[in-house]
Amino acid sequence: MELLERRLLTKVARASQDWAMLEAGDRVLVAMSGGKDSFVMFHLLRALQRRTPFPFELLPVHLDQHQPGFDSGVLARWFEAEGVAHRILSVDTYSIVAAHTPPGKPACSMCSRLRRGILYSAALELGCTKIALGHHRDDAIETLLLNQLYAGQLKAMPPRLRSDDGRNVVIRPLAYCAEADIAALATHLAFPTQPCTVCSQQPDLKRARVKALIDALGDEIPHVRSSLFAALGNVRATHLFDTSLREALDLDAVRADDDTAAALGASCSS
Ligand code: SF4
């Protein structure tokens, strides 16, 4: 298990380096949902904090959204036992989501939008320079496929993002970590995780479909998850159809080169 923890830590450190996630003087609001991803993220960030040669602060924050069956006291007691300064916020977003989500429709998109807005404001009030979210590699590749299959867009989930109003920076320290590794470490460390009861009653069927699709592909292509993940960092913009990139990336010059190469290829084969 030490090996697994070290592997995950290396991935968090690399993601942080690649995307300047952690910088000297940062005060990072660590969003703690109470699920396995947030516990592992906080655990790894603390480990990194002990090893990093520059100082930064971590402030775990849990937003109690009044989800039925969820006990925020579990998290509060865990923080206290660990001797960690933290904040528990309480806003009943559940009633809003329940009132506006038709039966059978997924609750997650409105729920997470409301939560994000509250966390963005809290980060500013608490003097935090960044907000760390627990999305991982598998969230990113599922989002990539979801957007392609259902929304006609080629986009995933950025490891680092500045909010539209420019006031918040969101980071995803687990962006390079596989969900299976995170789950294994969470079980090993016996974090007191609690599943969300709302999304188990009103699941996101499209996301579940994409997860099942990737799993099924995995039977034929064992490295399918790593390959989709690698694709996120290996973009050939010249070989896509987005005309808005033409000027931005000076694609006409590239096309001219491609045409020349194609003409040369044709003359060789004739
Ligand atoms: S899993 Fe979905 S419904 Fe549950 S807290 Fe997260 S976003 Fe909200």
CA of 154 to the centre of ligand 1 (A): 24
Tell me which of 3.40.630.30, 3.10.20.30, 3.40.50.620, 3.40.50.300 is the CATH number of domain 2-232.
Answer: 3.40.50.620
* Residue closest by Cα to atom 7 of ligand 1: 108
CA of 65 to the centre of ligand 1 (A): 9
CA of 70 to the centre of ligand 1 (A): 11
**What helix, strand, coil percent values describe the chain, rounded to 5?**
55, 10, 35
Alpha-carbon Rg of the chain, whole angstroms? Answer: 21
* Residue closest by Cα to atom 5 of ligand 1: 196
CA distance 232 to 212: 20
Question: pLDDT of 207-244, one tens digit each?
Answer: 999 999 999 999 999 999 999 999 999 999 889 999 99
Residue to probe by mutation, ligand 1, list 139, 199, 211, most atoms within 8 Å of CB: 199
199 lines ligand 1 (CB under 6 A): yes
Question: pLDDT of 156-201, one tens digit each?
Answer: 999 999 999 999 999 999 999 999 999 999 999 999 999 888 877 7
194 lines ligand 1 (CB under 6 A): no
Parallel, antiparallel or unpaired: strands 57-64 and 87-90: parallel
**Residue 202 scores a pLDDT above 80:** no
CA distance 140 to 228: 9
Spacing of C-alpha 210 from chain mean position: 16
Q: Where are the domains of the chain?
A: 2-232, 239-269
pTM for the model? 0.91
112 lines ligand 1 (CB under 6 A): yes
Question: pLDDT of 131-164, one tens digit each?
Answer: 999 999 999 999 999 999 999 999 999 999 999 9
